[in-house]
Structure 1
């Protein structure tokens, strides 16, 4: 069972860059549900989207799988298919180890291969569904287009890329409004001003967010025939792009 997130509850002499270490693993479900508005709605919709786009005799990828919550949701959506394999990847060994325990707790006919590796090195092939659930924002901006291109090249026709991200509004005034609403969301979920401030300082160097327009332009440039935002809450959005 997940512990309560108190990582940033006490004043720190210096705030280090955020990383997905053992300390974060222990509190991650509590952290993400109290920090990301709409997270549960996105997970609840993943099986429906996978059911719509997943194809027989293909691979499904969860890139940046953390504890496997999206992997579990994806697996529910492809249990009716023949010869469908899932590959879940994360570069955090503690995350992968815990994901294995979570996935092992639920019976399924769909095999899942867990890989501890840099998703920039993951080979994408014969993929009908690829999920980046709050993952791309942690990839260096200069590497994002190449990564999405590699995913596109490894996808089947009619395959879908599902991306959920925090984003930055192009209008600075509206961006400030969305940030304030997000902070209110965190306060309502029990985070103190100190926790909000220290978490923001820890994550600002490792998470560089794009605008929604940047995501759309990237989809178009790479060649996705159809793409849209299917969910948004404050400055968080989920998108799909179909090859």
Structure 2
């Protein structure tokens, strides 16, 4: 399957519309996310190493909001034979169709189940690793506490949750700076001013970022014994939370 260059917002649109993970996005997603999210490749690769460290024999590993399966593959390729199962969940059929094709071409043998569902409705059971790489930010704010509590309850003692998010800053000057730096990152990766502006208009009411303090408080309230940032670049960060 050949990945295409992201030109979705290259031409003027009559209406921006809301950003959705449809077939157009699925087709260009690898290019889109590499050129839009600083540190994405590192986060995915280190997700695999975290899975290697925390995956317990006979347990489940969840990739919630799996998109095209990058984190699922990173975990799969770093596991030895521990009788684990990876469960990838996404509510986009277009994403999962492409994800399934990608998973089928991988030669590693840890089973991967793909489920089309909202992550709020998925059972978390016997989990040693749960990954949400840029997923919670698309969940309605009022539902996020319940999602994290549900994950905590489904994790085995000693398990880990990886949470990667676009974040906002309490200080308005720092927030403005990091937004500007993110836009410079996108310009450096070939996006035009029109593309940056139209993508921002399409996604601003769909992707709702929060502060790192809010994420820490939510995870502590859910019961996690420790949580903190292990990676950050501009307004994108990844956290680990331990049960």
Normalising by structure 1, report the TM-score.
0.98
> What SS does structure 1 have at the residue aligned with 2:114?
strand
1:190 aligns with 190
Show structure 2 runs of 5+ residues with no match.
none
Deviations 1:136-189 (A, max 9, x none): 000001000000000000100000000110000110000000000000000000
1:31 aligns with 32
1:90 aligns with 90
> What SS does structure 2 have at the residue aligned with 1:71?
helix
40-49 vs 193-202, which deviates more? 40-49
Q: Provide the rounded CA distance (Å) in 1 between the counterparts of 2:199 and 2:96.
A: 23
Q: Provide the rounded CA distance (Å) in 1 between the counterparts of 2:149 and 2:47.
A: 22
Work out the number of aligned pairs and report it: 242
1:134 to 2:155 alignment: no
- Quick check: 1:89–1:114 contact (8 Å CA) kept in 2? yes
Show structure 1 runs of 5+ residues with no match.
none
- Quick check: 1:8–1:198 contact (8 Å CA) kept in 2? yes
> What SS does structure 2 have at the residue aligned with 1:19?
coil
- Quick check: 1:55–1:81 contact (8 Å CA) kept in 2? no
> What SS does structure 1 have at the residue aligned with 2:46?
helix
> What SS does structure 1 have at the residue aligned with 2:11?
coil
2:66 aligns with 65
Q: CA deviation at 1:219?
A: 1.0
- Quick check: 1:25–1:95 contact (8 Å CA) kept in 2? yes
1:6 aligns with 7
2:200 aligns with 200
> What SS does structure 1 have at the residue aligned with 2:14?
coil
- Quick check: 1:226–1:242 contact (8 Å CA) kept in 2? yes
1:36-115 matches, within 5 Å, as: 36-78=37-79, 80-115=80-115
1:159 to 2:166 alignment: no
> What SS does structure 1 have at the residue aligned with 2:13?
coil
- Aligned structure 1 segments of 4 or more residues deviating by more than 2 angstroms: none
Q: Provide the rounded CA distance (Å) in 2 between the counterparts of 1:182 and 1:120.
A: 29
Q: Provide the rounded CA distance (Å) in 1 between the counterparts of 2:33 and 2:83.
A: 32
2:169 aligns with 169
> What SS does structure 1 have at the residue aligned with 2:182?
helix
Q: CA deviation at 1:82?
A: 2.2
> What SS does structure 1 have at the residue aligned with 2:98?
helix
> What SS does structure 1 have at the residue aligned with 2:209?
coil
- Quick check: 1:46–1:77 contact (8 Å CA) kept in 2? no
Q: Provide the rounded CA distance (Å) in 1 between the counterparts of 2:128 and 2:81.
A: 12
1:146 aligns with 146
> What SS does structure 2 have at the residue aligned with 1:77?
coil
Q: Provide the rounded CA distance (Å) in 2 between the counterparts of 1:159 and 1:215.
A: 18
1:221-240 matches, within 5 Å, as: 221-240=221-240
